[in-house]
Structure 1
Amino acid sequence: MKVNLKHPETNMVKTVKVGFSWTVFFFSFLPPLFRGDWKWGIIIFLAASFTFGFTGLIFMFIYNKIYLNELLEKEYVAVDDLSETILKDRGFIAS
């Protein structure tokens, strides 16, 4: 499931997947880096380095939630009604 988010000042639109991250599963720390999320890319890289990749098994379940929460903290808002409904149903925004 994907949601569309838009920043009200810059009008930048981002499409974010909600749920399990297959890209982190297959490519570990690279998806956060390609999204410009340097902080979490480095954290995942360091964690995977010290645990021989086992930490990546945890981040594939939680990374999309972390990324989505950070965008919402940066004042991104849902573009359409479907995205808003998904965010409400999953508990990202209040009803």
Structure 2
Amino acid sequence: MITMTNNAGLSKRVKVGFSWTTFFFGFLPALFRGDLKWAIIMFIIASVLGSFTFGIGAWVTSLVFCFIYNKIYIKELIEKGYYPADEHSRSVLVTNQILAA
């Protein structure tokens, strides 16, 4: 877990790496985080692939997104003006190649 903060003083704790919640619940974690864009994208992809493959495509979509969603979410926070709150958070982001050294 890392902490991201912005200039207004808002902080968010974010997990880096594999997203178990996305694995088990699909697009719902993105929806609960307020990340509507990615919640809709995941829902549409899962719906389209699931409709052609009797639901297997929806499971595959969750399997793919559980590996990449946390990284996508952190990058979007950075674009919105969030930055690592401490040196530990910064080093974790550099190690995971989300931030440049």
TM-score (norm 2): 0.87
Query: Which one of the candidate residues 20, 27, 35 is aligned to 1:29?
Result: 27
| 4+ runs deviating over 2 angstroms | none
Query: Which one of the candidate residues 67, 73, 86 is aligned to 2:73?
Result: 67
**Residue in 2 that maps onto 1:5:** 4
How much does 1:55 deviate?
A: 1.3
Give aligned pairs, total.
93
* Rg larger for: 2
Which structure 2 segments of 5+ residues have no match? 51-57
| Partner SS for 2:98 | coil
| Partner SS for 2:3 | strand
Which structure 1 segments of 5+ residues have no match? none
Cα-to-partner distance string for 1:3-35 (whole Å, 9 max, x where unaligned):
100011x21100111111000001001000000
RMSD: 0.9
Q: Which has the higher helix share?
A: 2
**Residue in 2 that maps onto 1:80:** 86
Identity %: 49
**Residue in 2 that maps onto 1:90:** 96
TM-score (norm 1): 0.93
